[in-house]
Structure 1
Amino acid sequence: MKFQRLLIAALIVCLVSAQLRLEDQIKKEQQNESWLEKLLDYFRPKNKLSVTTECNALNFTAYDGLSYSGYLSVGQNLKSALGFIFYGAKGRTVEQIRTLPTIIWLNGGPGCSSQFGNFFELGPLYVNQTSSGSFYFTPNNYTWTNEYNVIFVDQPIGTGISYADSSKEIPQNQDQVAQQFLYALDQLYNSPNGCFNQVGLTPKSPLFLFGESYAGKYVPSIAARALKEKNVFNIQGIGVVDGFTVPYYVVGSLSEFSHLNNLTSNTQYQHGLQVAAQAQKAINASQFQLASSYFNQDMSINNPQNLDVYNIHRQDEPDASALENLFNSAYGQQLFKLRNKKYTQCDNTVYARFANDFMKGDTINAVEYLLEQDFPVNYFNGNLDLIVPYIGTETLLSVLNWSGQSQFNSAPTTQWAADGAVYGTVKTYKNLQYKLVYNSGHMVPQDQPAAALNLVTEAVNRSLQYNQSKSQ
């Protein structure tokens, strides 16, 4: 008995000591984060670019359709601009694309380029590089441009092909993101140099916002602000793919997901639950950078085999180095008529600017607002995603505060099948729909391109029909 008491006392001392070391480590990380942004800004290239709203028609012979690139100013007194690549729907004339819905695609990060979505997920072409360094493109048979116009915007400024004149102009929260993005949309439609203006696309053509991962914050925030400003751009619906919308529920689902998939032992499962509780406690106390540290620790606990967190069944992560090489080459810059700016797939300066926003969950207010406005909201999640487990997304969608919540919760979950294939499950009530995508991880359009094309087509058609029924 005496030995057992001594053993318990020793265990308590070890646990307390470990907790103190963790807290000390977190404090050091917080101090390092405050210096990181300053350090990155110091070493950031100082060559100032002359960037304003512009539209460039591309001679992109690899694509069977109209293609454009350009920049969009994000504020009257700002010198920064969002960069984009736009495709009119495949094989259509300019007159035809004016009648089709347009989809804006945003990747997440924060600070990760939407050109990854363009050339590795849902765009019309995949980029490849030979051993000698030359580039070539191969077709994506399930590109969303088969049905729609698609514009890939690197968001926020500083990301990918976008340009930030200084780090101070990069947003730090979702309100600033929405403000800059809507200014850029106005430039796209109404500036004489805006591509939509030059092509003849007007808000009479429906617009949709789709995004992945951290864009699970961007997309609802932008759409909610647009609706509050009378929805002058005719946004008809949104789609969120494996969205990091409310981190509270994401971190709360890691242990359950890992244990259900036999990634962790019972001891690891319990440890993960404890750390997740600490992360949620920090979120509730608005200690968001502390919560980030706990989140990172919890990810490590729940991935003891060091699997690919974006898809736990994926053996080898696809090589995306061709993307950076393309946009950093003279060939790529000339092909897409871009400024000579170093391109990185994920920008550290942008990431650092969102250090306090990262674990915030206030985007839930935007989602609830959209739902209460009877606006179509579509959520999708891969069932093999560890970094944003479907369990967390389903929990979020079950606790939203809107008038249709109880009906959505009691709505049946049914099989989602098309073209002889079972893609997953679907649950719908009025303007909210959720689909679980089988055999897919974080990047649904990359892992299951046929399912992704089906889900976007059904989401767009359902949203258009739903909005039309409201007006009758």
Structure 2
Amino acid sequence: MRVLRNSFLYSVLLAATLFAAARDFTVQHESSFVPVGDGDSNDLVSGMQSSESGRYAIPALSKGESLHLNDISLTNNFVTLSNPRFPNHSVRIKKTDFCDHTVNAYTGYLDVDAGAKHMFFYFFESRRNPDEDDVMMWINGGPGCSSAMGLLMELGPCSIDMENQSPNGTIYNPYSWNEVANIFFLDQPVGVGFSYADFGETVETTEEAAKNVHAFISIFFETFKQFKGRPLHLSGESYGGRYLPVFASEIHDQNTIAVKEGRPTINLQTVIIGNGITDISTLYAGRFEIECGVSALDTPFQSINACVRMKMALPRCQQMMQANCIDSFDSIDCRASINFCDNELSTNMWASRRNVYDISKPCVGDLCYLENTAIMDYMNLNSTRKLLGAEAPGEFSSCSSAVSAGFAAHMDKWHSPTQVYVAQLLERGVRILIYAGTYDWQCNWVANKLWLEKLDWSGKDDYNLAQFSDWTVDGNKAGEVPHDKPKEALVMLERWLANQPL
């Protein structure tokens, strides 16, 4: 794993002032509405079950009381939360026994556009100290891939059982990131995982998706007052390198508006990106080094003939992308440039049948991992869907080709310089961690190193003067990726959240 010059990559967060202006919220449960005020009372809502209907009713709250997650009892029904500031959004949430029985776990939906779109999420309390630990959001990339992959393959409280040893299909993960933080896993945009739309509505740009993510986080933080003022960290991988800087920027800009209006802000502190695609200008140069250099393996794995052809095509690829995608974006010319680059610089990799996320291994199973096939089978069990409260009409899939195609049609990856979002966040005091696995080809560490070195921000000179140093865990060099190095990834996260040197 390459953790890139962490001492100079980020700046110190200047925490925004949190205003305690009173706001009203609404909790809806089984068609009844209850006003919820602003306050810090812990003697809150108690679920009362009807022996006849098996449904829960929430008694009215007096002004000054607030809702606590622990007040949501274990039931098959959702509690619906709304906020007058987001009239077209609401959150449905239920308690569940899914995955981690050592903590309180919840699942639910963010309902968007007056209930026409539905984004699924999982939430797990911290195993360490849920009442004080920070809050994280994790998303997978794609675009179009479910965060259940990150949950059940990498860093979630449980992992998919590949040995058929568990009676419930998952096994406990002692290195889950909820060891040190309360964590969301969000399936976004609609069409991803268990997220769905009623009438074929879609979200096809990152900027549009950012508004829904901001609404979801706002409703959650403003309704469940135990999280008021808690530090928030946005994390993810792959296309998350595009998603997260835009999501974080939307939160920061909305915070600026909230301060002017005397409303509560979201305490956004850091962004954590693993093997991300951010600055498109360095992508193909990095891929060439992974295949034909020694940046990943001790000996290049591509044939000499292939590497010679790629080397000859690389300058033209970069020139075309610079002119048509970066200096002045033109959708037709940019797409032609990308097609040229892919044909000349990616074809050999796909033909090699190596795992594009770990070139040291062959590509086996869905998306090159057998775990993904097992995850899809597990999530499509009726028992799993009932446990989660999943209401998506179709079957679960790890990644949605339709969502991916929608983003591609809008040239989402290419039309906007995402690295500028990163620079602007850094200038505003948001810390950013970039890490990357050594063996990844798709969104490789070389490309990330290159774009960080040329990132235009006030810390650029200090960053480039810094020397790389070994990152160790228990006295040993740490490496590769979270899927293969869960302990090391957890140590990385713990040090980062504590603002300690990695």
Correspondence list, 1:53-452, <5 A: 53-60=91-98, 62-75=100-113, 77=114, 79-90=116-127, 96-128=129-161, 135-170=168-203, 172-190=204-222, 197-198=223-224, 200-230=225-255, 232-261=265-294, 262-280=300-318, 281-282=320-321, 284-285=323-324, 286=330, 287-297=333-343, 298-302=345-349, 305-315=352-362, 317-341=369-393, 342-355=395-408, 356-423=411-478, 438=479, 440=480, 444-452=481-489
Rounded Cα–Cα distance in structure 2 between residues aligned with 1:240 and 1:372:
18
Contact kept in structure 2, 1:399 and 1:405, CA below 8 Å: yes
Q: Output the CA distance in 1 between the equivalents of 2:166 and 2:126.
A: 30
Q: 1: distance between equivalents of 2:93 and 2:341?
A: 41
What is the SS of the residue equivalent to 1:314? strand
Rounded to whole Å, the distance in 2 between the matches of 1:123 and 1:188 is 20
Distance 1:118 1:357, change over 3 A: same
Asked whether the equivalents of residues 210 and 250 of structure 2 are also in contact (C-alpha less than 8 Å), the reply is yes
Provide closer, same or farther for how the CA distance between residues 180 and 292 of structure 1 changes in structure 2, counting only shifts above 3 A: farther
Q: For 1:188-226, what per-residue CA distance to the aligned partner results, in whole angstroms no more than 9, with x for missing partners?
A: 233xxxxxx34x443411110011000111111111121
Q: Identify the structure with bigger relative contact order (alpha carbons < 8 Å, sequence gap 6+).
A: 2
Moved more, 299-308 or 217-226: 299-308
CA RMSD of aligned residues (A): 2.5
CA separation of 1:411 and 1:64: change in aligned 2, threshold 3 A: same
Alignment CA distance shift 1:157-1:276 (3 Å) = farther
2:214/2:247 contact within 8 Å kept: yes
TM-score normalised by length of structure 2: 0.71
Q: Is the 8 A contact 1:101 1:206 kept in 2?
A: yes
CA offset at residue 371 of structure 1? Answer: 1.2
Identity %: 24
Deviation at 1:381, TM superposition (A): 0.6
Gaps of 5+ in 2: 1-79, 81-88, 257-264, 295-299, 325-329
Q: Is this contact kept in 1: 2:195–2:392, CA < 8 A?
A: no
2-side partners of 1:242 and 1:132: how far apart? 31
**Distance (whole Å) between structure 2 residues aligned to residue 452 and residue 394 of structure 1:** 19
**Structure 1 residue 55: Cα displacement:** 0.8
Return the alpha-carbon distance in structure 2 between the equivalents of residues 311 and 451 of structure 1.
17
More helix as a share of residues:
1
